[in-house]
Amino acid sequence: MSPSGAALPWLARALRSEAFPGALLVAAAATALMIANSSWSAAWSHLWDAELAVEVGPYALQKPVQHWINDGLMVLFFFFVGLELKHEVLDGGLQSAREASLPIAAAVGGMLAPAALYALVLAAHGDGEAVAGWGIPMATDIAFALGVLALLGDRVPPSLRVFLATLAIVDDLGAVLVIAVFYTDDVHWQLFGAGLALLGLSYALNRLGVRRTWPYVVFGLLIWATFLQSGVHATIAGVALALTVPARRLEETVFADRARALVDEFQLVGDANTR
Q: Per-residue pLDDT tens for 126-184? A: 766 777 788 888 877 777 777 777 777 777 777 787 787 778 777 777 776 777 677 66
Q: How far is residue 171's CA from residue 155's CA, in Å, rounded to a whole number?
A: 25
Residue 198 has pLDDT above 90, yes or no: yes
Sort 82 into a burial class: Cβ within 10 Å, 0-12 / 13-18 / 19+: buried
Sort 140 into a burial class: Cβ within 10 Å, 0-12 / 13-18 / 19+: buried
**Which range has the worst mean pLDDT, 54-68, 77-91, 108-122, 258-272?**
258-272
Give pLDDT tens digits for 46-77: 888 888 887 777 777 778 888 888 788 888 87
Which amino acid is located at 129 in the chain? Answer: E
The full DSSP string for 99-127 is: HHHHHHHHHHHHHHHHHHHHHHHHHHTT-
Beta bridge partners of 61: 54
- Tell me the pLDDT band of 199, cut-offs 50, 70 and 90: very high
- Residue 178's alpha-carbon distances to 70, 90, 139, in angstroms, are 17, 28, 11
* 206: in domain: no
Domain that holds residue 98: 67-183
* 202: in domain: no
* 263: in domain: no
* 78: in domain: yes
Residue 11 has pLDDT above 70, yes or no: no
Long-range contacts of 54-58 (CB under 8 A, 24+ apart): none
pLDDT at 1: 47
Give pLDDT tens digits for 220-253: 999 988 988 887 777 788 888 888 888 766 555 5
* 106: in domain: yes
Q: How far is residue 215's CA from residue 203's CA, in Å, rounded to a whole number?
A: 11
- Tell me the pLDDT band of 95, cut-offs 50, 70 and 90: confident
Could you tell me which residues come within 8 angstroms of residue 157 by beta carbon, excluding any fewer than 6 positions away? Answer: none
Phi and psi torsions of 58, nearest 5°:
-80, -5
Report the number of distinct structural domains present in the chain.
1
Q: How far is residue 64's CA from residue 58's CA, in Å, rounded to a whole number?
A: 20
* 178: in domain: yes
pTM: 0.67
* 6: in domain: no
State the angle between helix axes of 158-178 and 235-244 in degrees (0 to 180), rounded to the nearest 10: 120
Phi and psi torsions of 15, nearest 5°:
-70, -30
Residue 162 has a CB neighbour count (10 Å cut-off) of: 21
* 91: in domain: yes
